[in-house]
Amino acid sequence: MTLSYAPGDSLAHRLDPRSKLLVQVGFAAAAFAHTTPRGLAALTVLAAGCLRAAGGGPRDLWAYRVALPFLLVAPVVAGATVGDPWFRLDRAADTALASYRVLLVLVVAAAYVRSTPVRDSRAAVQYAVPGRPGRLLAAGVALVFRFLPLLKRDLLTARDAMRARLGDELPVRDRMRIVAVAGIDRAFGRADRLGTALAARCFAWNPTLPRLAFGRGDAVALAVGVGLLAAALTGVI
């Protein structure tokens, strides 16, 4: 399952992307400022609410399955020591809280991606960062959102093609090399075609983007974002 925009009429779908970005920034700041069991417990409820407001659920987190093993192993690696006592529970606990903090940030990010069209994200970034730097950054954000699912699909296609040719009988190292080379080759091919397409369409600094407007629901989202930032700065949660 690839995490991408899913059309819908949920609460998060109706919000302005700028207010959703503020909630993301505030949530990340609060999570890093309050990496404690009490703080993360409160943020867990908020993260689940964000995902629910976007019409999503636990299945949407499957797109982050590549990162999950690292988050699980990190506390074990941090707690292990060479020599007595061989394992430090305090270090493992701190790293476990940090890993869980990252997972919560990913949950909120999943809610944003699921409920926000690429064009709206581009318009929001361009609004937040004025001038050509903002336009270039907005174009980069749009390309990342559009091409990451394609690159992932290319890797899966290469893996399936290798398996159809009995490639799954090869050593793991050879299988990784075949899939990686095929994925990189397709990525460069897509990049070349993208450059040609941009040149053919006279890529400009003033694209026509959707108009953004705050609604009534955005007042709540803005209040949540500002509250999270205040909590991060004041140390209160």
Where are the chain's structural domains? 12-117+213-234, 129-200
The list of the chain residues with pLDDT below 70 reads: 1-3, 145, 198-199, 201-208, 235-237
- Give the residue carrying structure tokens 């990496």: 35
According to the model, what pLDDT value does residue 157 have? 85
According to the model, what pLDDT value does residue 46 have? 94
* Other residues' Cβ atoms within 10 Å of the Cβ of residue 32: 13
Greatest Cα pair distance in the chain: 65
According to the model, what pLDDT value does residue 133 have? 76
According to the model, what pLDDT value does residue 42 have? 92
The pLDDT tens digits of the residues spanning 116-128 come to: 888 888 888 877 7
The pLDDT tens digits of the residues spanning 84-101 come to: 888 888 889 999 999 999
58 CB burial (10 A radius; 0-12, 13-18, 19+): exposed
**Whole-prediction pTM:** 0.73
Peptide bond into 210 cis (omega under 30): no
According to the model, what pLDDT value does residue 30 have? 93
Which residues, other chains included, contact 193 with Cβ-Cβ below 8 Å and sequence gap of 6+?
Answer: none
According to the model, what pLDDT value does residue 53 have? 92
Spatial separation of the C-alpha atoms in residues 90 and 53, rounded to whole Å: 36
Spatial separation of the C-alpha atoms in residues 12 and 53, rounded to whole Å: 5
Q: What would the two tokens of residue 229 be?
A: 């930032």
Spatial separation of the C-alpha atoms in residues 148 and 185, rounded to whole Å: 15
* Other residues' Cβ atoms within 10 Å of the Cβ of residue 97: 16
